[in-house]
A and B are shown apart, each in its own frame.
Chain A
Amino acid sequence: MIKFDSVSKRYPGGHEAILNVDFHLEAGEFAFLTGHSGAGKSTLLKLVMLMEKSSAGQVIVNGQNLNRMSLRQLPYFRRNIGVVFQDHQLLFDRSVFDNVALPLLVAGYSNNDASRRVRAALDKVGLLKKENQNPVALSGGEQQRVGIARAVVNKPVLLLADEPTGNLDPDLSAEIMNLFEQFNQVGTSVLIATHDLGLIDTDKHRVLALDNGRMVRDE
């Protein structure tokens, strides 16, 4: 699903965020990406969804070589990837329902089809009753769940999450992690970046660790 082959990312100004990283995430796999803040976790996720381009090496995601992807193909590539952000990136000028429906509107789904999928996704994260509310009225944990519903509404093959529990207390965090595991069980590949090692059940899942842009652990 994700294959990094000697990938480096140097930002303008010379900062090396990722240095010579190799790893391979199989389809259907569930993995954590850890490391202290500034280790390059976010940059690695940005490389996967082509928010940034690698400076060296090959990034292959969902069978597509991102080095060779044209701007024209990029939107269609992104529709296969669901992303959950730490700051959830919800739009406060529209309802919970409309936030979750956005990926479907963008992809041109009919209203009926979209409604069904949005309700299914909201039901999954337990927010079906709040579909007409503005996300600004929701708690932090609920907002994050709306973000997750939006990330999975399009049934992506790959789910990325950048510090999805960053602002949440341990109970809510466990709940969110539980959701990710459920999506993984139906076949979605999941990669979660987190610095919160306490959350990670290291026996159950693969853990990738970054330190100053280098992959220091993969088990």
Chain B
Amino acid sequence: MSKKPPAKKTSSGSTKSYTANRSWFQQHQEVAVDSLSRLLAEPGSSFLTWSVIGIALALPLCLILFLQNLQQLNTSVDEAGNISLFMIMDISNERLEASRDEIAAMAEVAQVTAITAEQALQEFQLGSGFGNALEGLDENPLPALLVVTPDMENVPSLPDLALNLESRADVDSAQVDLEWIQRLYSIISLAERMATGLALLLCLGVVLAVGNTVRLAIENRRDEIVVVKLVGGTDAYVSRPFLYTGIWYGVGGGMIAALLSMLAFFLLSGPFGNLMLLYGSDFSLSGLSISDVSAMLVVAGFLGLAGAWLSVLRHLKQIKPT
């Protein structure tokens, strides 16, 4: 019951089978490692290419992240998006309450709080430190106030609602505290368009930069490519190292882009926080998350692969023999 020894391959005969003993995965792993170590063997020029890609990717990355951050202001605006109605002077408390109820009944309005002139004065005295000075005045200089909280789902435009309310006879002026945010939104959506366009252009730039670098790599290894083709290397085998080179250029560039973005956020978050405080918001910038970085590296890797693929497609065909 002895097992048969495996049949030996013989050199005679016209039909020979070539068994690929190394797995597909193993071959890819070897090429991936070899391509990376080739790049690391020339750290100077590789770092230069990585930096070019990194800077090109960091620019749109920062812009897009910054815009995303600004858009998150939306939520804080919903809460803070009140309209203050300064009533005409000497309005009676009864009339104030009537107006409050009228406005509260509007579909666009969620809630109205009335603050009488006396209440306003008290608050001001407590909060401002001008208490003594105000006591010297003959009459209350402050108007009564209605604080209108809009029902944001039914309000297409905050300024329009404010104008509408301002046209009431008993309202002296209406003030939308956060009007600037609405303007900011229009600027953001404009900037987003520009950022998207810029991102597309710079991604194209990355693809071309990697393509050109891979073209040089192909030129440098021309002798090897010729020999590999002559000893029976398939096109896939010949192109594989260059495709991995492209991926590594992309991923390395992506890492530099992530680092640059983190640096930019670190430098910007302080001043940005101060700016937000001036507008009465405690909103702060959120930087890159782990998933942002990984997504970034995947995209960068694909861009590198695309560049290498274009280059391989164009230049490998030109090397004889076919």
Contact = CB atoms under 8 A, between A and B. Distances in A.
B283 interface: no
Nearest to B321: A51
Contacts of B22: 108-111
Interface string A157-196: 1000000000000000000000000000011100000000
A154 B230 CA distance: 13
Contact of A106 (B11, B19, B237): B237
B16 interface: yes
Contacts of A76: 18, 232, 234
Given A78-B231, A83-B230, A106-B228, A51 B320 contact: yes
Interface string A46-89: 10011110000000001100000001001111111001000001
Contacts of A52: 321
B28 to A, nearest CB: 12
Q: Is the interface of A mostly helix, strand, loop or mixed?
A: loop
A201 interface: no
A155 interface: yes
A51 B319 CA distance: 11
A203 interface: no
Contacts of A103: 231-232
Contacts of A77: 232
Nearest to A89: B227
A107 interface: yes
Contact of B231 (A46, A79, A155, A187): A79
B18 A89 contact: no
A107 B20 contact: yes
Interface size class of B (residues with CB under 8 A): 20 to 34
A63 to B, nearest CB: 5
Contacts of B235: 71, 75
Interface residues of A, number: 37
Interface string A83-103: 100000101010000000011
Interface in B16-43: 16, 18-22, 27
A108 B13 contact: no
B29 to A, nearest CB: 13
A199 interface: no
A150 B231 contact: yes
B131 to A, nearest CB: 86
A52 to B, nearest CB: 8
B133 to A, nearest CB: 87
Contacts of A137: none
Nearest to A183: B11
Interface of B: 9, 11-14, 16, 18-22, 27, 223-224, 226-235, 237, 320-322
9 contacts: A51-B230, A75-B232, A75-B233, A79-B18, A80-B14, A103-B231, A109-B22, A157-B12, A157-B14
